[in-house]
């Protein structure tokens, strides 16, 4: 602490003693009259006053015009002295500060020093301070020192000010936030932030509440206060207004304007100033955000070796807490950007049967490939990277969004997980199988009558696929053999020797039940199958399509010959005429020639028949 403050402290501590001395008849004395307030009278003329005047409204005022007579009994009008144009803005600020700080000090010498400081600002009419300070009698030097100290305080930090301004700042952090308002005083020595908590401003929130649930509160300057933004949609918008009233800053001093020709007064209770500020802020809400993907395979049917993609229509889940708005985060430049997501698409298969829709894929489901799509632009439609299907079977896409794949600072903490169902029809592709079936009749030629079956040799049947049923029909007997490889006209009306069915579930040879044949003639097998999934939806392709073959194939043909007439027994010796029985009717046994001709005819008919194999694929 330097010497001057020590002197001043000692001075102000001595004021009480001085006051007591004056009341006891010391050389300087105070007059408590209706016209006079606190101050001293010069003992030389017992008239000259150095101090303030008491007004009938309880205020006190210091004289401004040293050249005018004392304002005893004068009438005054109150006006804002800073608007009168009598003084500069800085001098008005000094006068306001003195009236605010020492307008009614409560002791005579402080009042005398304040009056001297006021005249020093408004003008000493060519005199020095000592000329007027002598009215303090033996305390003149002390009054001069105190007056100059007052002026020094007014010109320094936290002294006289031209005014004050306020700021407001909102910080939004999802469901939480804060607001703070600062006050800055425009001191003559330079602007300074007012010590936090010095004054209370009335804050009004829009789009948020304070802790108690209200939208209005008195909040100290510089005090950070918690708020709760309203949560609706993907973004929140909050604004705040703050008003500080009755601030002890500014140049608005209360001027007691004399209606006569005596002194004007610097009156206590200068006009207060006010400061106001507002701020508005937008930010991402703290609500969780739920995405979803509508997915469709690029093809419902494909061939082995083909590539499939997944069409991804990215949007907002109908149950998302953000409503129909895509979640956002605040980018480094302050702008809002869509929360990015990584869509993982997995192609599962092959399955031997059409997948049944369920919430999740089987744990042991075979995986063809896994691909990813990074989306940073929000909702839209895109194609996943391709995957190649290796073989026949059913394939199905599943898709998911994992919040862990999105960085925290980009909204990953608010992103909700999503996964598609398994076995959705729009996500299913079938690669049809093309099994090969070779068919051979169990016999190419049958004499008289017998039984014939069909041997089906299957290759390329999908492992694990549901069995298919093959219906084999033996047509005949026909009198004429149709052309090889043809589908005879009207074959559907041919006689049917028999129809049998065979269940096929694996590769290999499968024998049909035997069909009896009794009538001679030409026979051949035809077959058909409804394939797999005979009861599936009509618009959904089957793993094994329906197939049939109604052509004539040598390997499927059977010739049934008529029964052979047995040779006639040798004739007995002709009995004597006398021993013969009488004959009636026609002739006896066939001749040798007729028997030979019959055998040759059968051989000739069979010479053109052969036995080969055919295949269906």
Three-state DSSP string of 504-525: ECCCEEEECCCEEECCCEEEEE
The answer to whether position 545 is within a domain reads yes
Structure tokens at 428: 């299913």
DSSP 275-324: EEEEEEEEEE-SS-B-EEEEEEES-SB--TT-EE-EEEEEEE-TT-TTTT
Contact 255, 84 (CB under 8 A): yes
Same domain, 175 and 195: yes
Residue 18 burial (CB count, 10 A) = 22
Q: What are phi and psi of 604, to 5 degrees?
A: -65, -35
Q: Average pLDDT for consecutive 10-residue bins of the chain (617 residues)?
A: 40 38 32 68 96 92 94 89 96 98 96 99 98 98 98 97 98 97 98 98 98 97 98 97 98 92 92 97 97 96 96 98 97 96 98 94 96 98 97 96 97 97 95 92 89 94 90 95 94 96 94 94 95 63 89 94 72 50 37 35 35 40
Same domain, 479 and 397: no
Q: What is the pLDDT of residue 565?
A: 66
CA distances, 223 to each of 8, 15, 241, 277, 469 (Å): 34, 38, 15, 15, 84
Q: What is the pLDDT of residue 244?
A: 99
Provide the CATH number for the domain around residue 455. Answer: 2.60.40.3930
- What's the total number of domains in the chain? 4
Q: What are phi and psi of 323, to 5 degrees?
A: 75, -135
Contact 560, 544 (CB under 8 A): no
CA distances, 259 to each of 36, 37, 77, 78, 99 (Å): 19, 21, 7, 11, 21
Range of the structural domain that residue 55 is part of: 3-155
The answer to whether position 590 is within a domain reads no
Q: What is the pLDDT of residue 568?
A: 64
Q: What is the pLDDT of residue 31?
A: 25
DSSP 470: E
Contact 598, 561 (CB under 8 A): no
Q: What is the pLDDT of residue 185?
A: 98
Same domain, 89 and 51: yes
CA distances, 32 to each of 36, 74, 264 (Å): 6, 18, 21
Q: How far apart are CA 398 and CA 386, in angstroms?
A: 14
DSSP 408: G
Contact 290, 266 (CB under 8 A): no
Same domain, 148 and 207: no
Q: What is the pLDDT of residue 571?
A: 59
Same domain, 9 and 105: yes
Q: What's the distance, CA 442 to chain centroid? A: 70
Residue 511 burial (CB count, 10 A) = 11
Residue ending a domain, choose from 155, 190, 214: 155
Q: How far apart are CA 501 and CA 504, in angstroms?
A: 10
DSSP 328-346: EEE-TTS-EEEPPEEEEEE
**Which residues does 404 contact at the CB level (< 8 Å), separation at least 6?**
412
Same domain, 454 and 538: yes
Please choose, from the candidates 550, 535, 545, the residue with its C-alpha nearest in 3D space to the C-alpha of residue 472.
550
Residue ending a domain, choose from 407, 431, 455: 431
CA angle 47/48/49 to nearest 5° reads 110
Q: How far apart are CA 439 and CA 458, in angstroms?
A: 9
Helix axes 108-122, 3-23, angle to 10 degrees: 120
Provide the CATH number for the domain around residue 420. Answer: 2.60.40.1930
Same domain, 60 and 141: yes
The answer to whether position 51 is within a domain reads yes
Residue that the structure tokens 């303030």 belong to: 52
Please choose, from the candidates 31, 263, 44, the residue with its C-alpha nearest in 3D space to the C-alpha of residue 134.
44
The answer to whether position 591 is within a domain reads no
Provide the CATH number for the domain around residue 237. Answer: 2.60.40
Same domain, 57 and 89: yes
Please choose, from the candidates 425, 420, 432, the residue with its C-alpha nearest in 3D space to the C-alpha of residue 346.
420
pTM of the prediction? 0.69
Structure tokens at 375: 């989306």
Q: How far apart are CA 303 and CA 125, in angstroms?
A: 112
The answer to whether position 381 is within a domain reads yes
Which of helix, strand or coil describes residue 468?
Answer: strand
Please choose, from the candidates 352, 317, 314, the residue with its C-alpha nearest in 3D space to the C-alpha of residue 431.
352
Please choose, from the candidates 389, 425, 422, 410, the residue with its C-alpha nearest in 3D space to the C-alpha of residue 342.
410
Same domain, 418 and 443: no
DSSP 44: T
Residue ending a domain, choose from 431, 464, 494: 431
Which of helix, strand or coil describes residue 175?
Answer: coil
Same domain, 15 and 140: yes
CA distances, 19 to each of 12, 25, 33, 597 (Å): 11, 10, 16, 173
The answer to whether position 258 is within a domain reads no
Same domain, 143 and 215: no
Same domain, 36 and 120: yes
Please choose, from the candidates 144, 218, 149, the residue with its C-alpha nearest in 3D space to the C-alpha of residue 179.
218
Contact 525, 550 (CB under 8 A): no
The answer to whether position 589 is within a domain reads no
Structure tokens at 45: 């003329």
The answer to whether position 335 is within a domain reads yes
């Amino acid at each position: 602490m330097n010497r001057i403050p020590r002197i001043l402290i000692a001075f102000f501590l001595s004021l009480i003693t001085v006051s007591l001395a004056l009341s006891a008849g010391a050389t300087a004395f105070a007059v408590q009259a209706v016209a006079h307030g606190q101050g001293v009278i010069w003992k030389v003329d017992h008239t000259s006053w150095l101090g303030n005047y008491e007004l009938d409204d309880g205020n006190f005022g210091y004289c401004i015009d040293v050249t005018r007579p004392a304002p005893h009994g004068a009438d005054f009008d109150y006006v804002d002295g800073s608007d009168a144009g009598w003084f500069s803005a800085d001098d008005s600020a000094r006068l306001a500060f003195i009236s605010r700080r020492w307008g009614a000090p409560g002791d005579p010498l402080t009042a005398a020093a304040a009056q001297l400081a006021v005249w020093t600002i408004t003008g000493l009419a060519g005199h020095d301070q000592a000329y007027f300070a002598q009215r303090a009698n033996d305390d003149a030097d002390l009054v001069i020192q105190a007056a100059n100290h007052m002026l020094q305080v007014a010109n320094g930090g936290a002294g006289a000010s031209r005014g004050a301004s306020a700021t407001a700042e909102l910080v939004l952090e999802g469901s939480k936030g804060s607001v703070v308002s600062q006050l800055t005083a425009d001191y003559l020595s330079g602007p300074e932030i007012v010590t936090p908590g010095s004054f209370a401003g009335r804050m009004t929130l829009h789009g948020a509440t304070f802790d108690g649930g209200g939208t209005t509160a008195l909040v100290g300057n510089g005090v950070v206060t918690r708020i709760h933004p309203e949560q609706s949609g993907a973004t929140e918008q909050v604004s705040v207004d703050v008003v500080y009233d009755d601030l002890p800053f500014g140049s608005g001093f209360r001027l007691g304007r004399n209606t006569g020709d005596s002194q004007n007064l610097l009156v206590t209770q200068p006009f207060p100033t006010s400061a106001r500020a507002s701020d508005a802020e937008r930010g991402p809400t703290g609500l969780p955000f739920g995405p979803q993907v509508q997915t469709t395979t690029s093809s419902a049917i494909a061939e082995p070796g083909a590539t499939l993609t997944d069409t991804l229509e990215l949007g907002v889940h109908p149950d998302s807490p953000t409503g129909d708005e895509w979640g956002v985060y605040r980018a480094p430049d302050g702008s809002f950007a869509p929360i990015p997501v990584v869509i993982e698409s997995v192609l599962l298969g092959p399955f031997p049967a059409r997948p049944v829709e369920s919430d999740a894929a089987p744990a042991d489901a075979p995986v063809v490939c896994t691909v990813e799509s990074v989306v940073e632009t929000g909702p839209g439609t895109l194609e996943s990277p391709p995957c190649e299907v290796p073989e026949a079977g059913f394939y199905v896409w599943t898709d998911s969004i994992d919040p862990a794949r999105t960085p925290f600072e980009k909204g990953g903490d608010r992103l909700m997980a999503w996964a598609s169902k398994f076995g959705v029809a729009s996500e299913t592709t079938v690669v049809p199988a093309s099994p090969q079936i070779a068919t051979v009749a169990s016999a190419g030629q049958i004499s008289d009558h017998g039984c014939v079956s069909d041997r089906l040799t299957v290759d390329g049947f999908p492992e694990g696929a549901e069995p298919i049923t093959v219906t084999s029909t033996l047509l005949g007997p026909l009198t004429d053999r149709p052309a090889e490889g043809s589908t005879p006209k009207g074959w559907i009306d041919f006689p049917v020797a028999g129809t049998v069915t065979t269940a096929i579930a694996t590769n290999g040879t499968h024998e049909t039940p035997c069909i009896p044949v009794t009538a001679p003639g030409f026979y051949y097998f035809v077959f058909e199958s409804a394939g797999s999934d005979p009861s599936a939806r009509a618009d959904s392709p089957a793993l094994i399509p329906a197939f049939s073959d109604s052509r004539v194939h040598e390997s499927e043909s059977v010739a049934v010959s008529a029964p052979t007439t047995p040779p006639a027994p040798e004739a007995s010796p002709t009995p004597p005429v006398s021993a013969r029985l009488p004959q009636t009717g026609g002739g006896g046994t066939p001749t040798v020639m007729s028997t030979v001709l019959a055998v040759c005819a059968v051989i000739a008919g069979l010479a053109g028949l052969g036995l080969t194999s055919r295949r269906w694929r």
